[in-house]
Structure 1
Amino acid sequence: MTTSSVTPAAVPTAARPAHRDGNVLRWLAAYTASMVGDNVYWITLSWAAVQSGTPAQAGLVTAVSALPRALLMLAGGVVADRFGPRRIVIGSDAVRCAAVLGAAALLHLTSPGLWPLTALALVFGTVDAVFMPAVGALPARITRTDQLARVHGMRGMAIRFAGVTGAPLGGLGVALGGAAAAFGLAGLLIALSVPLLLGVRVRELPADGSATAGGTARRDLVAGLRHIRRHRVLAPLLLTIALGDLGFVGPLNVGLTLLADERGWGAPGMGWVLAGFGVGAGAASLLLAVRGRVPHAGRVIACTVLAGSVAIGALAYVPGVLAAVGVALLVGLLTGLSGALCGALLQTLTDPAYLGRVTAVAGLVSLGLAPLGMPLSAAAIGAWGTGPVFVAGAVVCGLGGVVALAVRDLRRAELPG
């Protein structure tokens, strides 16, 4: 697949905010359609796997994507930097669309069992390994540096929108036409992103620092890791992100389900708590999208991570559902704001030529290491109860705030304005 990179002058340089920039809005529409389709796909895959096998087998099918994604993520960052993120995102969405529509046709014609679903999950995981770094590298190529924070907030809103709408659309598709219809809907939504992306204009990058065809993939990867290590802010920033994800994922995914069961809140109560978290995180993304810049970003990251960690620990000790919803809203607001600011700093401080590789390192932590905390959290809750595990997660998360406070360059980091 070909792509047409244009010079920086071809990307609008007037003082136009990102939310009024047609180029950015085309990217946002493409990203939103792809993410909604992704959510529909995951709901449908889980349902189809449960219908075709045991719950344990269904769990294995849905987990298959994680292995190639973790193993290939760093290589995917090299690919994104070498061939350009726009080209990779378009190609990835085309492959994902073809795979899902192929599964829809197969399910419509026959009842194939678990193996085709496993193969589909494997393809998705492999493609995600290059798709995710490319998605992270693309914003810096479509807008000015001073608008990257706003774009990151807009991206966060798209993720929340996809999470809210994708599950009901997947359930509706399954109810009306079974897994075949739902997979077909997911494929069409992902396909919608391709023509939109074809209309997105991107900047060319200078040759210095970029992954080039003349070097080896290993050399490009080492150069990206060296860029992180030598940067005075990126290395501690990635450590802050890693500690935050490791402390957050276990308690707030597995732990919340077990906490709701332990307290007798039931599924409706857990749903309200999750809704509170989603509203808080969405509000944080909206704040960044509207303001475009938060002063003293490094200090705000440190304070919100520390305050968010306290709220995570407190969630296990609230007396009822209503209080839990309020604390969850606070958790979502604080962790959503810190996460959005971390992402915005990552975008603005990284040399654009390295963004695919830097995003791959951040993604490897979030999608490769952090999920390991889920089974550990479940086992720990079984041994010691929800309270100590939530507190332990809060401590790990809070260490990220300590790093942000302790490292002077990160503490003083500012977003361009």
Structure 2
Amino acid sequence: MHGWILSAGISWAGDVAWYVGLAWSAAQVTTPAGAGLVMGIGALPKALILLYGGALADRLDGRRTMILANLARIVVLVAASAAVLVWGLSLGLLVAVAVVFGAVDALYTPASGTLPRRMVRSEDLVKLSAGTQLATRLATFAGAPLGGLLVAHGGLVTVMLVDAASFVVIALALAFVVKPRLPQPASSGRSVRADLRDGFAYLKRDVRARTLVIAFSGLNLCVGPVLAVGLVQRTHQAGWGPAWYGWFEACSGIAAAAGALVAIRWKPADLARSGLLALVVQAAGCAMIGVVPRLAVFVAMAMIGCTAGIASAQLSAAFQQSVDPSYLGRSFSIVNLSDEALMPLAMTGFGALISLSSISVACGVVGVLFALLMLWAATRVHVDSAGARLGERT
């Protein structure tokens, strides 16, 4: 478990440093439109391949798939570094690397979703999820300034080589430290397409799994635009300045780390219901951002961060416990696809809602919808859980 948490932190720190270096380098060699292309183009192959990646994750060994994906990342980064040294930095090279990384992520991400269930006992899944979240939060604080320092003093080549080294560490950890205690149940479909159809059919007949997939897909589409668009617009329109925006984000990150620590100690009877109800508090924080004064925004961000830390750990564990192990990769890929495919639409729609009304109205509407979705999901999983317990007694 500790090896998995450590490798997750190293991976996240390397990713954050890479994206900082990529964004800065793109800004140096192309126009703002070109830089936007570089930063966004990787989502396209990931969105196109992600569902197939989930089906493959349920057919193949997840740990081996992750190792091979990391080796592919290393090869790409080393080859790109050599290309920069020989031919120099160019828009085409940056786009090519972003596209390949997006495709590899589509294979790596669903495979990573199949491992926690196989590594630890069911009662330790919250600890694993909370520890992983805490590691990634701390890695974000370290990775962002690291990426800035590396690209400033060594250029993108240095960033790529450091990121490649992080992938070497992760591959070695997966190969020699992370040892699943349970075998992976493989899907039995005739083909990948048949497995995809079977994955959707499984969610159609399993109420609890379907409810969690819908809740997971919806919560990011609600809170993401509020933090990425609403908070920025509120800070700008109020004339508070970018420094305050940074402090707001830092408050949320610290609170999320604290929430993850709380989740390690707190053991509610129904993890899914507890996590979903905690997100109702997060929805209230989203609504507050649009109306409260500056100092109260810190309270709202602390509410969002702390409940994210608690709910993410509890819901991740509930997801692993609730979804049939042979469908974990496909279910995980569907949740991730909502972020990749629908998040741009959610961001655009939220921005349009602000333009048509106001920040306070937009945040309030999204906060209410967010809370209603979580309450609906909490009711569904509670009824399904109660029905399952009744069935066991009879």
Length-normalised TM-score, structure 1? 0.87
Match of 1:294 among 255, 268, 271: 268
Stretch of structure 1 that moved more, 117-126 or 158-167:
158-167
1:237 matches 2:207:
no
Structure 2: unaligned runs, 5 residues or longer: 389-394
**8 Å CA contact 2:280, 2:375 repeated in 1:** yes
1:402 matches 2:379:
no
The aligned residue for residue 78 of structure 1 is 55
Structure 1: unaligned runs, 5 residues or longer: 1-23
1:224 matches 2:199:
yes
**8 Å CA contact 2:217, 2:336 repeated in 1:** no
Look up the equivalent residue of 1:253 and give its one-letter code: A
Structure 1 runs of 4+ with >4 Å offset: 410-414
Q: Deviations over 1:384-417 (max 9, x none)?
A: 2311111122122112222124314357599xxx
**8 Å CA contact 2:281, 2:303 repeated in 1:** no
Q: Deviations over 1:121-142 (max 9, x none)?
A: 0001101111111111111111
Find the aligned partners of 1:146 and 1:365 in 2 and give their Cα distance: 28
**8 Å CA contact 1:160, 1:282 repeated in 2:** yes
The aligned residue for residue 285 of structure 2 is 311
For residue 207 of structure 2, give the secondary structure of its aligned residue in structure 1. Answer: coil
State the Cα distance separating 1:205 from its structure 2 match: 3.5
The aligned residue for residue 211 of structure 1 is 187
Q: 1:5-404 counterparts in 2 under 5 A?
A: 24-199=1-176, 200-205=178-183, 210-212=186-188, 215-291=190-266, 293-320=267-294, 322-404=295-377
Q: Deviations over 1:231-283 (max 9, x none)?
A: 13111111222221221111111222121111112111001100111112212
Structure whose residues are more often helix by fraction: 2
Stretch of structure 1 that moved more, 98-107 or 194-203:
98-107
The structure-2 alpha-carbon separation of the partners of 1:411 and 1:57, relative to structure 1 and needing over 3 Å to count, comes to farther
Q: Deviations over 1:169-228 (max 9, x none)?
A: 100101111121122211111221111111121245375xx224x720011112222222
Aligned residues with identical type, % of pairs: 30
For residue 233 of structure 1, give the secondary structure of its aligned residue in structure 2. Answer: helix
Stretch of structure 1 that moved more, 58-67 or 397-406:
397-406
Find the aligned partners of 1:63 and 1:49 in 2 and give their Cα distance: 12
Find the aligned partners of 1:53 and 1:64 in 2 and give their Cα distance: 15
For residue 264 of structure 1, give the secondary structure of its aligned residue in structure 2. Answer: coil
The structure-2 alpha-carbon separation of the partners of 1:145 and 1:48, relative to structure 1 and needing over 3 Å to count, comes to same
Find the aligned partners of 1:172 and 1:105 in 2 and give their Cα distance: 21
**8 Å CA contact 1:298, 1:412 repeated in 2:** no
- Superposition RMSD in Å: 2.0
Length-normalised TM-score, structure 2? 0.92
State the Cα distance separating 1:35 from its structure 2 match: 1.6
**8 Å CA contact 2:113, 2:329 repeated in 1:** yes
How many equivalent pairs are there?
Answer: 386
